[in-house]
Amino acid sequence: MTARLSSDAFKALVLRGPLPRSFLDFFGRKLLELVLTVQGLGAFALITLGVMFSKLGAGREAVKPLIVKQTARAGLSLLPLISFFAAALGLAVIGQTVSLLSRVGANQYLGMVMVTAVVRELGPLLTALLVLLRIGAANVIELGTARALGEVEALEALGIDPIHYLVVPRVIGMALGVFALTVYLLVGALVSGYAWAFLQDVPLTPGEYVQQLAGALRGLDFVVLAIKTSLFGGLIATVTCYHGLAQPLRLQEVSRATIRALAQSVVLCVLLDAGFILVYLLA
Amino acid sequence: METADPQPRPALIELIEAGIPARLAPETEAMAGVTWTIREGDYWVIGGLQGSGKTDLLFAAAGLSRPLRGDYRLFGHAVGPAYSDEGLADRLRVGLVFGEGGRLFPELTVRENVALPLLYHRPIEPEEIESRVRLLLAETGLETMASHFPAGLNPAWRQRVALARTLALRPEVLLLDNPLAGLDPRHARWWIQFLDRLFAGHPLLAGRSTTLAVAVDDFRPWIKPGRKYALLTETRLDFVEDPAATALLERHAVLRELLPAEPHPI
């Protein structure tokens, strides 16, 4: 008769036990960890989605202010930082491309470069990473600490679903926040891009610049931007909430969970971004 | 075995041959074969030393953890997990006051902590919520601390906020985890008297008597006629008629620890 190992016993034996001297075992363990992580994250995401829709009207008076608070936190509070990065991004892209395009007399492609590099790729990804660092990390710490101090059980004792109260507002707030911040960053980067081009004596009037941008932008760009940025925000919220909440944590494990959440969020955002590149290629 | 009740009243919470899981290791059994019924009008006092499983037992009674074996029934029927909607109405009829500071939400003020369950569960007018919260704060002596955050409060007052928050939903059964732990005689006296008023019928709960179950680590302030007593010893739940009985004291070393000879400060 084969004894079945419980999930925790399996993890303790296979994932945390001492490794034999074999690279194959090392990679095997990493692969197993990846599979378990994907399984856990996937299940948590599905549960969150389910709760979001099944408890749409529940606890409205308690949850609505939380959504507003999280949206402001993931959106408004980062405006100063985003403004700085918008200016920096405009400078970086324009600064690098102006000299190149001027050399071959192709300044008419400045707008296309801004749209391709900033609007479609760098802008959304940079915004997502900034939100991840400032708000995502705080999510893990707050929820991990709340879990360790028993606040989750306190919510359950009051008949309040912890996912509905703690996670759903963060997912909605960060999805809206990342979308809004990205739009703000893109406008700022495009404006600052022209300002830097002007300072570098590029023979380009504002009207020509706007015409170039309008010519390079497609309807698909707006749709993809809205979906991609919302998904970035939702994904960051889900991953960080998972690491803060889904695992029983002791206070001393919160920092390790934060680092893991940040790394996984970055990887998933990049993978998601790569997926949207396929959309452009197919279109 | 639980003492026979000459006039059986409705069973509110039943644990039948239940394997009670340990909170910190949910797949491990902290107690095996627990059969315990809380009936309407009961006042249970469950004594146990630190680490004996008092909190685990209360968690199971409140439906926060599922027994690993056996059965759990709330108001006569099975209920779903703590986070599901199945049986939510029944679970809201049971209140649990956590020990060690009450597990308040640190980002909310005292007033907001007490109002939260009302805001979430009872779609009533804001004025009515405000009025109810004011009443709860007044009855628990917290009116002057309504705008304070839990971090700025003494643990004794945090414990009262937890009580006020739990009473917001007017539970029929109140489970309390060592409410007198770390309290000075003044606060301890307040708790004993307030719980007596809840048991007799408090205006806060429209004069309805509240069924109580209190986990304690010192029996002395709790010995009173008409109450039921249980003892947690070595992962077992034993029922005792009179903890102060000499024969029982001689038999149970744990009982001697929970009932020291010197009188309690209150």
φ, ψ dihedrals at B125, nearest 5°: -60, 145
A-chain residues near B98 (CB < 8 A): 150, 153-154, 157
- Tell me the two tokens of residue B146: 């309504």
Helix (H) or strand (E) holding B38: strand B29-39
Inter-chain touch A62–B123, beta carbons under 8 Å: no
The alpha carbon of residue B118 is apart from the nearest alpha carbon of chain A, in Å, by 9
The whole-angstrom separation of Cα B140 and Cα B117 is 17
Q: Are A135 and A74 in contact (CB under 8 A)?
A: yes
B-chain residues near A159 (CB < 8 A): 88, 91-92, 117, 120-121, 169
Q: How high is the pLDDT of residue A234?
A: 95
Helices (H) and strands (E) in chain A, counts: 13, 0
**B30 three-state secondary structure:** strand
Between helix B126-139 and helix B110-121 the angle, nearest 10°, is: 130
Inter-chain touch B92–A151, beta carbons under 8 Å: no
The whole-angstrom separation of Cα B184 and Cα B221 is 13
CA within 13 Å, CB half, A198: 11
Q: What is the pLDDT of residues A197-208, one digit of tens each?
A: 888 887 788 888
Q: How confident is the model at residue A217 (pLDDT cuts 50, 70, 90)?
A: confident
Inter-chain touch B120–A8, beta carbons under 8 Å: no
Q: How high is the pLDDT of residue A168?
A: 96
B22-31, Cβ contacts within 8 angstroms, sequence gap of 24 or more? B22/B53, B22/B56, B23/B55, B23/B56, B23/B59, B23/B65, B24/A248, B26/B65, B27/A6, B27/A8, B27/B68, B29/B68, B29/B69, B29/B235, B30/B56, B30/B235, B31/B56, B31/B57, B31/B232, B31/B235, B31/B236, B31/B237
Residue bearing tokens 């399996």:
A10
Inter-chain touch A154–B169, beta carbons under 8 Å: no
CA within 13 Å, CB half, A212: 20
In angstroms, the Cα distances linking B114 to B96, B106, B134, B145 are 14, 12, 9, 12
In this complex, how many residue pairs, one in chain A and one in chain B, have their CB atoms less than 8 Å apart?
Answer: 59
For residue A159, give the nearest of B59, B88, B105 by CB distance.
B88
For residue B98, give the nearest of A154, A160, A161 by CB distance.
A154
Q: How high is the pLDDT of residue B6?
A: 62
Residue A1 sits at the chain B interface (C-beta within 8 Å): no
Inter-chain touch B169–A159, beta carbons under 8 Å: yes
Q: How high is the pLDDT of residue A58?
A: 85
User: CA gyration radius for chain A?
Assistant: 23
Q: What burial class does residue B88 get, using C-beta atoms within 10 Å of its C-beta: 0-12 exposed, 13-18 middle, 19+ buried?
A: middle
pLDDT in tens, chain B (266 residues): 445 556 678 999 999 999 999 887 778 888 888 999 999 999 999 998 888 889 999 999 999 988 998 999 999 888 777 667 778 888 999 999 998 888 999 999 999 999 999 999 987 888 999 999 999 999 999 999 999 999 999 999 999 999 999 999 999 999 999 999 889 999 999 999 999 999 999 988 888 999 999 999 888 899 888 899 998 887 788 888 776 766 666 666 777 777 766 666 66
The alpha carbon of residue B112 is apart from the nearest alpha carbon of chain A, in Å, by 10
For the question of an ipTM over 0.95, the answer is no
Q: How high is the pLDDT of residue B85?
A: 73
Q: How high is the pLDDT of residue B148?
A: 96
Give percent helix, percent strand, percent coil of chain B, each to the nearest 5.
35, 20, 45
* Residues in contact with A139: Cβ distance below 8 Å, sequence separation at least 6, in sequence order: A170, A237, A240, A241, A244, A261
Higher pLDDT, B82 or A23: A23
Residue bearing tokens 């039921």:
B228
Residue A53 sits at the chain B interface (C-beta within 8 Å): no
For residue A8, give the nearest of B27, B82, B88 by CB distance.
B27
Q: How high is the pLDDT of residue B179?
A: 94
Other beta carbons within 10 Å of B185: 12
- Tell me the two tokens of residue B222: 């709790």
For residue A159, give the nearest of B24, B91, B98 by CB distance.
B91
Q: What is the pLDDT of residues A225-263, one digit of tens each?
A: 999 999 999 999 999 999 998 776 677 788 888 999 999
Q: Are A86 and A192 in contact (CB under 8 A)?
A: yes
In angstroms, the Cα distances linking B50 to A80, B174, B216, B255 are 51, 21, 9, 13
User: Is the pTM value of this prediction over 0.80?
Assistant: yes
Instruction: Please determine, for residue A32, whether its predicted confidence score (pLDDT) is greater than 60.
Output: yes
Q: What is the pLDDT of residues A65-117, one digit of tens each?
A: 999 999 999 988 999 999 999 999 888 888 778 777 777 777 778 888 888 88
Give the whole-number percent of chain A exceeding pLDDT 70: 92
Inter-chain touch B96–A161, beta carbons under 8 Å: no
Q: How high is the pLDDT of residue A65?
A: 92
Question: Which residue of B100, B104, B120, B165 is the best one to mutate when testing the A interface, meaning the one whose CB has the most A CBs within 10 A?
Answer: B120
Q: How confident is the model at residue A6 (pLDDT cuts 50, 70, 90)?
A: low
Higher pLDDT, A222 or B123: A222
The whole-angstrom separation of Cα B156 and Cα B243 is 27
- Tell me the two tokens of residue B175: 């489970």
B-chain residues near A6 (CB < 8 A): 27
A85 backbone φψ class: left, alpha, beta (φ>0; ψ -120 to 50): alpha
Give the whole-number percent of chain A exceeding pLDDT 90: 47
Pick the closest to residue B257 from B224, B225, B216, B228 (CA basis): B216
Strands (E), B129-235: 173-177, 211-216, 228-233
Residue A162 sits at the chain B interface (C-beta within 8 Å): yes
Pick the closest to residue A174 from A258, A232, A227 (CA basis): A232
B-chain residues near A62 (CB < 8 A): 116, 119-120
Higher pLDDT, A247 or A2: A247
C-alpha dihedral (A239, A245, A251, A256), degrees to nearest 10:
-20
Please name the residue of chain A whose CA is at the shortest distance from the CA of residue B98: A154
Pick the closest to residue A117 from A242, A25, A21, A216 (CA basis): A216
Residues of B near A (Cβ–Cβ under 8 Å) read 24, 27, 59, 62, 64, 82-83, 88, 91-92, 95-96, 98, 103-105, 116-117, 119-121, 123, 126, 165-166, 169
Q: How high is the pLDDT of residue B1?
A: 43
